[in-house]
Structure 1
Amino acid sequence: MVLLLPSTSIVIFTFVTLVSSVCNLVTSDPLCPPEYLEHEIPITKEDIDMMQFAENLEHLECDLFLWSALGFGLDHVAPQLVMGGPPPIGAQKANLDFHTRKLIEEFAYQEVGHLRALKTTVGGFPRPLMDLSAKNFAMIMNEAFGYELVPPFDPYRDSVSYMMGAYVVPYVGLVAYVGTNPNLKGYVTKRLLAGLLGVEAGQDAVIRHYLYDRAGEVVHPYNHTVAEFTNRISGFRNRLAMCGIKDEGIIVPHYLGAEQRTESNVLSADINSLSYSRTPPEILRIVYGGGNESVPGGFFPHGANGRIARNFLLDQPSHN
């Protein structure tokens, strides 16, 4: 698979444009000073690799949300962002009520914007092959519960099922951004990450609140509540990542709640109520579904794209 990295001319153009914009701000509007300190670096090569890694997760969310809400994906909405990548496997329109569909439609268009911002700032690569089939989600749920659910879990069945399926994805991107943040050097990429993280965190909070409002409901046709589903999914992701507790369901023991005084857990966070962070290997272990960053599977049957992800793959040429 050919990976398209940004050319030097794109980075130089971005830098010149930003410098020009900053100068215009300084001279034209003293009440609105520039966001960045003088003589800072806009983008580094390492920043490009790290932010391109995020494009895999943004592609995953984008097509999941677009297909579920509208019945078509990125190929229809913004085909230039696909860059020739294959269509996702098994994506379909979900059976959503009006309110839920409008939420997911908004999320979908937000993800289109995220991909545009990333690819125009740090360059991009063809959309990787993704498996968004009900069968793949069913396998995730079976692993989370430790036995085969009957009938197989289908996130496209109804609104609650869909939001539990959606619970599987945005939080992974959120913690990936938190983990990337301290490693960035350029002010352009730092600003980009902060903008992306703010919206990703908001999406995750909406999904978690939606499920928290239904925490005690038994999910048809299974004898498990919504809260138990979230706890099982979060526990499964912790096991896959193999780096301790960095993921929590919507109802937790007091020792995991805010200040160890609450069982409600609408926002998943550490002992100081700060967002957890994950590294690229942890993220790949989760989205590949097998706990190994070198063995593709799960949402990415052929592996994620970009220099960082491809360098983890066994028997794969690295891309420079």
Structure 2
Amino acid sequence: MKSPLSGSASSRRATTDLLADRHESRRSALKKLGLGAFGLGSIVLGGREARAGFASASAADPTDVAVLNFALNLEYLEAEYYLRAVTGMGIEAAGGGVDGAGTAGEVVVKTNSQVPFTNAAFQQYAAEIAADELAHVIFLRAAITAAGGVPAARPALNLRESFAAAAQAAGLGAGFDPFADEVSFMLGAFVFEDVGVAAYKGASPLISNKTFLEAAAGILGVEAYHSGIVRTLLFQLGGTAQTAAQAISDLRDAASGVEKDQGIIVGGMANLVPTDANGIAFSRSTREVLDIVYLGSGATQGGFFPAGLNGDIK
């Protein structure tokens, strides 16, 4: 599944410009909502109204802040993955901020991580999701601060060996590189998106403050949209991509020790929305999520987080 990286300097600039345009669009929308603005080079960490909503809420429960910081760790991972795939740069270059409680860790990634997109639609999907994930990081950091907490610093992330190890464990062979081409990129995205949806849903009963719960529900909805996009594209790509997605799904079940994952094909039919018999999205406990991102049951670090998460839930 390893393919050579290609793409001219002009195509890489076009991708960066596309994300900048996406940010400009988001900025216009956020201004209309009164929630602040952001661009690639200058980002306001949450709007005044958004911060006021959290600051005026009842005193933040330590558990609520811990859950938001747990979510922030996962958002750091997603934002770094998408931003580097689309622009070749990470959160810091985009002005998103990475400092806070704990040590801001290094991001291990290939020298040129920018995906050589050949499909314009795939490129636009990636840019949109990158903008969303960066916005989640910015929002959660601002919300935690406004609630009187300290946002977790970005932990050390491994976006190189972790993917290769996960692919090998899933039986997909050695040397998998999610930045090699757009199909590999979508398979890399599939590793994260379903986990994000299940993580937010699983953490929702732990949140007591309704202001925080509403925000988490809003992010869950966006992650579900992302998951639907990725699952649909992989299904449309056919045989090899569908088989690889099933292998990744099986790996998530094996890592977490709980069988609740679903591939994009069930009984020979499309399965674009993974749900239980009641049509309800699955939940994952924080321990199950950690087992998946650490690539090992009961592990306290490893996989995508070589030094573990920052915060109380790690």
> What is the root-mean-square deviation in Å for CA atoms of aligned residues?
2.3
Contact 1:41 1:187 in 2 (8 A): no
* Cα pair 1:43 1:187 within 8 Å, conserved: no
User: What SS does the corresponding residue of 1:281 show, helix, strand or coil?
Assistant: helix
* Structure 1 counterpart of 2:253, one-letter code: N
Determine if contact 1:43/1:185 at 8 Å carries over to the other structure.
no
- Aligned residue identity for 1:46: T
Q: CA deviation at 1:136?
A: 2.3
Aligned partner of residue 126 in structure 1, secondary structure? coil
Answer whether contact 1:215 1:250 (CA < 8 A) is retained.
Answer: no
What's the offset of the Cα at 1:15? 11
Q: Is 1:93 paired with 2:114? A: yes
- Residues of 2 paired with 1:20 and 1:85: CA distance? 25
**Structure 1 unaligned regions, length at least 5:** 1-12, 22-39, 217-224, 255-262, 310-320
The letter of the residue matching 1:89 is V
Cα shift readout 1:176-211 (whole Å, capped 9, x = no counterpart): 000011221111111110111011111111000110
Aligned counterpart, 2:151: 124
For 2:52, which of 3, 17, 21 is the aligned residue?
A: 17
Distance 1:42 1:165, change over 3 A: same
CA deviation after TM superposition for structure 1 residue 17, in Å: 3.2
- The answer to whether structure 1 residue 285 and structure 2 residue 291 are counterparts is yes
Matched, 1:63 2:80: yes
Residues 158 and 305, structure 2, Cα contact 8 Å, conserved in 1: yes
Equivalent position of 1:8 in the other structure: none
CA distance in 2, matches of 1:20, 1:185: 15
Deviations 1:224-278 (A, max 9, x none): x2111111100110011112x2211100137xxxxxxxx2101111111210001
Spell out the pairing of 1:218-233 with structure 2 (5 A cutoff).
225-233=240-248
Instruction: Say how many residue pairs are matched.
Output: 257
Checking the alignment, whether the CA contact within 8 Å between 1:74 and 1:82 is kept in structure 2 is: no
2:12 maps to none
Distance 1:20 1:140, change over 3 A: closer
> Shift in Å at residue 125 of structure 1?
1.6
Deviations 1:57-106 (A, max 9, x none): 10000000000011111110024344572331015112222321221111
Indicate the SS of the match to 2:263.
coil
1:1-320 to 2 correspondences below 5 Å: 17-18=52-53, 41=58, 43-83=60-100, 85-91=104-110, 92-97=113-118, 98-122=120-144, 123-133=150-160, 135-145=161-171, 149=173, 152-216=175-239, 225-243=240-258, 245-253=259-267, 263-294=269-300, 296-309=301-314
TM-score normalized with structure 2 length: 0.76
Q: Which residue of 2 aligns with 1:37?
A: none
Once the two structures are TM-superposed, the CA of residue 129 in structure 1 deviates from its matched residue by 0.3
Bigger-Rg structure (1/2): 1
Q: Supply the distance in 2 between the matched residues of 1:234 and 1:80 (Cα, whole angstroms).
A: 32
- Whole-Å Cα distance in 1 between the matches of residues 253 and 245 of structure 2? 12
**Aligned residues of 2:294 and 2:303 also touching (Cα < 8 A):** yes
Which residue pairs with 2:8 in the alignment? none
Deviation at 1:215, TM superposition (A): 2.4
Percent identity, aligned pairs only, is 31
Distance in 1 of aligned mates of 2:243 and 2:186 = 14
User: Which structure's relative contact order is higher, taking Cα pairs within 8 Å and 6+ residues apart?
Assistant: 2
Checking the alignment, whether the CA contact within 8 Å between 1:14 and 1:121 is kept in structure 2 is no
* Deviation per residue, 1:93-135 (Å, 9 max, x gap): 12222321221111111111111111111241210000001x3
Q: TM-score, normalised by structure 1?
A: 0.75
Q: Does the 8 A contact of 2:54 with 2:211 survive in 1?
A: no
Query: Which secondary structure state, in structure 2, belongs to the residue aligned with residue 77 of structure 1?
Result: coil
Q: Is the 8 A contact 1:52 1:124 kept in 2?
A: yes
CA contact under 8 A between 1:230 and 1:249: conserved in structure 2?
Answer: yes
Q: Match of 2:42? A: none
